[in-house]
Each structure stands twice: as structure tokens, then as C-alpha cells.
Structure 1
Amino acid sequence: MDKAIQTRGAKLAGVIEYWNLSLEGVWLHYVSLGGEMSELELDAYLHGAYGLSGYQHDIMAQAVNELIDMLPVPPRASFSSEPDFDEAEPLAPGDVFGG
């Protein structure tokens, strides 16, 4: 198998692991986008034991990126000058639209 194919698969596996995506979820999303390999073949590809065309890799990368985009934004620390949104009272409709 071509070293470049193994490298692409390893990098994709690293992204999946970093974002803690499930293999089953990735595979289901991949198939929904037109991917053609089985879940077992996907697992083998991510571990360097199966070759994958550039086209199928790109479908897989698209599926992974879409799943990442669906993840909630991680919480961020607020600055002392910012309101604490957990304790702020909700705005009334007139407060937003000037009515």
C-alpha cells in the first residue's frame, strides 16, 4: 500500500480520536454522503491496513468535518467586564426591539 494513503488514514484517525467521534457515527455519516466502504473497512483504513481512493478519503474527511461542525462550542471563560450570562435576567421583547 502507498505510504501517502497510510499517512492520510493516520491523520484522519488522529482527528477522529482528538474530537472523540465514534467510529459508528463517522461511518454512518460517511455512508449518508455516498461513501462505499463498510465500517470494518473504515476501521482497517484508519489503522493502516486498508487502502482507500482519494475520492473515498475525501468523502470520509467531509463526513468527519461535518460532524465536528455539529459539536457544541466549548465553554469559554468570561472576562470581568462581561456579564455573567447564567445569572443575567432574560430580556423582554420590548428591550430588544425598542417597543
Structure 2
Amino acid sequence: MYPSTPDLSLADGLAASGLSHEELWLCQISVGGVAGRLETEAYVLGVLVPDLHQHNVIAQALNEHLLERGEPCSVGYRNTVKIR
């Protein structure tokens, strides 16, 4: 159904998770996120671009939910270190 590569976008991860935007918002708060409900939705929809930390928090929330459901796919994290 979904690729088993570690590079799903936030939007694809949300679709794979079956979570609503509000459920994702609550999940990202539970793993340390600080974005509001509408901010979280805007990040996933691509209306706003999250900073590296917030992207990774949302990815972590999605990945934890996918892991709990036994899904083989995961959302990619953004690296904070650039390699030249």
C-alpha cells in the first residue's frame, strides 16, 4: 500500500497513519511538540514550512503511531547537520 522507505512526507505519513489533523496535533504535543493545532495542519499541508525541530517532532509522532499499528512505512526526518 505505502512504500517501506524512510522518506514519506508529513502529508503521506498522515495519510498512512489514518490520524486526523487534530489527532496528529495531540500526538505531536505528547512527544514534545509546541505547534498549535492549525500550525500542525498547515505544516502537513505544506502551507507553512516547519523548522527542523518541529518537522522532526511531527515525524516522530507519526512514526510512533505507525509503529504501534505495525505499518512498514515511516516519515523521514530532516538532518540538522549539513555534510559537504
TM bracket (short chain): 0.5 to 0.7
Structure 2 gaps, min length 5? 1-6, 72-84
1:19 partner letter: S
1:36-55 CA-to-partner distances (Å, cap 9, x unmatched) read: 11110111111211121111
Name which one, 1 or 2, has greater alpha-carbon Rg.
Answer: 1
Question: Where in structure 1 do 4 or more consecutive aligned residues deviate above 6 Å?
Answer: none
CA RMSD across the alignment:
2.2
Q: 1:18 aligns with which of 1, 11, 16?
A: 16
TM-score by length of 2: 0.66
Q: Relative contact order: is structure 1 or structure 2 higher (C-alpha 8 Å, sep ≥ 6)?
A: 2
In terms of fraction of residues, the more helix-rich structure is 1
Structure 1: gaps spanning 5 or more residues: 1-7, 74-99
Percent identity of equivalent pairs: 34
Aligned length: 65
